[in-house]
Structure 1
């Protein structure tokens, strides 16, 4: 029997929902209304096949913010006719999860109906906390849908991952965002006037069946009820949202409340209200530093400077970038240009001493230099081969000739015997520098040695077409 408190809570739900952000009020109510992620929602996809089989199982939804993880989870539970429970790892603990598990077992025993537990931000649970799911998921007493913006390989335990299917959601395309905005405007028009973010009285021309035009807008409104929504405004929403549907709908809500405000001011307000999606502790940071490093390795200066600017504009620590570039100077440029490492060290010191915004110039100098410098991985590859040889047998003795002999006893034992002091000779001499099992290994290869390099005709031809104006590469062997 329902308590008076629960009845009051249910009575207040419509009021609370009316006060919710537009993005929450306009969530799709059926899978057919869901926009984006066609690789998951199209007929014949793995997810739809699981849903059709009646055994959704436990899944992890991995994707950027605003791509539809929460909405998709709710729709899946509805389509599967399951009891839906929703928690967030940011505000819930183990006791909350246990309570859901106990209720799920009772519902399953009494009605045979399964329960879907949607846990948002599942990566916020510690590795020990994640272990609570294992027996319930494995026995099928609960169907877990975890949502995360972080790479599950790093944030979730291998035991939990082995019991769940990981499904990747992509950032929404501009066409997806455009579709979402169009549908949202259509639904807002159908809302009761008290629920609209801003009620606009229709003009006389609208009553007569004509279309009104905002006097302050440079373009004709695309929505008669909201004259401030122009093509330019919608285009700005699409651009500023960066594939995040929640951001797009929040911007739309801002526009809907901006009656009688000039178009330029509306767009400026939107730009100021959008915060960067760059996370200095998340995947985007490592994706961008990887793009910067690989652009330098590929000698693409424009791309390298672009990724540098993206990171700095997003608030990245310039010292972090400089440290990575010090590594790049030895790993990728290496012996081909021995001035790269001193310049990288100098840039690191400049970033530490000067700071932003001036040190951005030092970083741009270094990035452009590294991108245009010749590349050689001889030293880097040599160390990897040496490390492999060193780990294969850690007990190989140092050859006697290579050992120092500071005492008479050591000399009597044969230390340093047979060693030829190179500067004493007018010609090259040979010493046994390596233990016998290793001396046949070529660790540091000669400059220009291409014996372990790949030749990919398709990749070369692609480079010739994209970067060399269709002309043949000058390094092709002469036939």
Structure 2
């Protein structure tokens, strides 16, 4: 029996009794116009519009599509919409459970359906990045010969996780995380539309905000939580889904946190001050509050990078690279896995030796410059490479440091106005203790107080 017959039967049952399907399935868009978010993919004349036959250009020429984006952004939904709009068979496989055998069975079924009934097949392959190279290779004949329209979904960068031959034959569409407004609109539609909850309950503002935080930009997660909370409210005889009911149902307390108000800045401030104070447990607490409240992970990562230079500096030279690596990882993976990376960086920074010497050094230098202590660049440091520089005495008398023992030449570098002023005052904490010793010896050599080689 063909796999699509099972799908058709399930869809028929859903149409007869919509309540038998989960809310997230019932609210699945039926056309591209019902899709939430992804406006960059839904513009008139876009490849996705042409794929379903809209526009003067006709169907897009690609025989396969790769949808890349975070969970819950509509990858499966778009595959269903394309299938319905083009009236093609729809077969869904997951790379987690399927292998080459299952793929070949679908391809064979697609060839029979095309030959016997003249009906083309859409193969939706979820989590394609979990397929090995050999498993992905098995898809190539079907894609090249257009036996199926392959729509593959991945949360991983396809340039690293999909083989080049398949990638080059595919239309790559990048899905963006849904905004709170996107998810909010979907929740409100689910509350009122007949295929959703049909107005059986209402959703007060505080409950809606909590559902948005729980969702974290994942439409499926938002609808699943709404359905559970609505069921609990109706069982209690409540006409509105109270915040307490949402908390009890999803087993997550609402975090008092306004991402655009005082709490946003207060908790962020507390996180940084806890890191500065080396209280790793308090820092993790505030980090958890920000994560649970749905704070933008990129904002947290930026604060950690600032802390690495502001409060640690050269006391632990690895602090800044750790924070920068965390920010890069967060940008690549997103939540929920990004929580692990932010925890890693927060712990490292909180337990690192502390020094604000870099902060006070640039502060003192800026204060002098803003106070007018600048002065002309010493003549021997000026550019001497252009014609006429020698007549002006530029670069005359400059000692090339690599020509002297120790590579430190006794000469003046700062302008007269600030010559001899000390901005950097290293601490004796952590790795900066070594810099404290080095900087004194270097300053002595620059003044000519220490003979070369000493």
Length-normalised TM-score, structure 1: 0.52
| 1:84 to 2:63 alignment | no
| 1:239 paired residue number | 213
Q: Tell me whether 6-15 or 151-160 shows the greater mean CA deviation.
A: 6-15
Find the aligned partners of 1:360 and 1:263 in 2 and give their Cα distance: 35
Cα distance per residue 1:72-122 (max 9 Å; x no partner): 111112212222211111221111110111121122233443211101111
**What is the DSSP-based 3-state SS (H/G/I as helix, E as strand, rest coil) of the residue aligned with 1:147?**
strand
| 2:316 paired residue number | 340
Contact 1:56 1:143 in 2 (8 A): no
Find the aligned partners of 1:8 and 1:168 in 2 and give their Cα distance: 29
Distance change in 2, residues 1:367/1:173 (3 Å): farther
| 1:279 paired residue number | none
Distance change in 2, residues 1:344/1:30 (3 Å): closer
Find the aligned partners of 1:167 and 1:69 in 2 and give their Cα distance: 10
Distance change in 2, residues 1:369/1:25 (3 Å): farther
| 1:227-376 → structure 2 map (5 Å cutoff) | 229-257=203-231, 258-259=233-234, 260=236, 263-269=242-248, 272-273=251-252, 310=287, 338-341=314-317, 363-364=349-350, 366=352
Contact 1:120 1:148 in 2 (8 A): yes
Contact 2:83 2:90 in 1 (8 A): yes
CA drift at 1:19: 3.5
| Structure 1 portions without partners, runs of 5+ | 200-222, 276-300, 316-323, 346-356, 377-427, 434-446, 449-479
Find the aligned partners of 1:109 and 1:8 in 2 and give their Cα distance: 20
Contact 1:340 1:370 in 2 (8 A): no
Contact 1:344 1:366 in 2 (8 A): no
Cα distance per residue 1:311-338 (max 9 Å; x no partner): 89869xxxxxxxx9xxx99xx97xx964
Distance change in 2, residues 1:175/1:430 (3 Å): closer
| 1:437 paired residue number | none
| 1:61-460 → structure 2 map (5 Å cutoff) | 61-187=67-193, 190=194, 225-226=200-201, 229-257=203-231, 258-259=233-234, 260=236, 263-269=242-248, 272-273=251-252, 310=287, 338-341=314-317, 363-364=349-350, 366=352
| 2:24 paired residue number | 23
Distance change in 2, residues 1:367/1:169 (3 Å): farther
| 2:263 paired residue number | none
Distance change in 2, residues 1:122/1:375 (3 Å): farther
CA drift at 1:268: 2.2
CA RMSD between the two structures: 5.0
Distance change in 2, residues 1:274/1:241 (3 Å): farther
| 1:215 paired residue number | none
Find the aligned partners of 2:188 and 2:132 in 1 and give their Cα distance: 40
**What is the DSSP-based 3-state SS (H/G/I as helix, E as strand, rest coil) of the residue aligned with 1:59?**
strand
| 2:49 paired residue number | 48
Contact 1:115 1:143 in 2 (8 A): yes
Distance change in 2, residues 1:166/1:367 (3 Å): farther
Contact 2:313 2:319 in 1 (8 A): no
Distance change in 2, residues 1:50/1:311 (3 Å): same
CA drift at 1:59: 0.7
Equivalent pairs, count: 304
Contact 1:73 1:118 in 2 (8 A): yes
**What is the DSSP-based 3-state SS (H/G/I as helix, E as strand, rest coil) of the residue aligned with 1:341?**
coil
Distance change in 2, residues 1:307/1:250 (3 Å): farther
Distance change in 2, residues 1:59/1:250 (3 Å): same
CA drift at 1:236: 2.2
Find the aligned partners of 2:36 and 2:224 in 1 and give their Cα distance: 17
| 2:381 paired residue number | none
